[in-house]
A = this chain, B = another copy of it.
Amino acid sequence: MFKLSKTTDYGIVLMAELASDSSRATQNARELAASSELPVPMVSKVLKVLAKEGLLISQRGSKGGYSLAGEPDSMPVSEMIRVLEGPLALTDCALGPARCEHESGCAVREPWQQISRVVEQALAGITLADLVGGRVERSMNEMTSNMLQINRSPEANRPPQSEQR
């Protein structure tokens, strides 16, 4: 149905939970499960992934737990999605060349790659700080109107720049 997995959903909720209460820099899985009203084993599983991928710092043993590995405003949503969900690609062939067996016949391969990249950039422009600060709505509306306005321009001259990452 073109939606994120629950794992990713939970992961971002948990990150937001950690970011929203700076008085408790480190919280363990049980505490986070309680405050987010999510099942403990699932929370534990997600936190492990986030720690392994470097978005959280884990502390073992008694008095242990998890804390953010960086500042919320330097943690883009696209990064959380990437580590929990895998690389963003709207279709298989958007993952790169030689992924699609119908190379020659497919006319929409390159557009898909571009579109995937745009979605990723949109998600890269929103950080954890935006989520907990409620700043998303305003910037989103401006963003949207600008996007539509630009894409509705029928003819324009192509700037020969291609941005790769």
- In the complex this chain forms, how many copies of it are found? 2
| A98 within 8 A of partner (CB) | no
Chain A contact residue count (CB 8 A cutoff) = 83
Q: Give complex CA distance A144, B118 in Å.
A: 6
| A12 within 8 A of partner (CB) | yes
B126 engages A140 (CB within 8 Å): no
A111 engages B92 (CB within 8 Å): no
Q: Which of A86, A106, A129 has the most CB of B within 10 A?
A: A106
Enumerate chain A interface residues (CB-CB to B < 8 A): 1-5, 8-9, 12-13, 16-17, 20, 35-38, 54, 70, 73-77, 79, 81, 85-92, 94, 102, 105-108, 110-111, 114-115, 117-119, 121-127, 129-132, 134, 136-144, 146-148, 150-153, 155-156, 158-163, 165
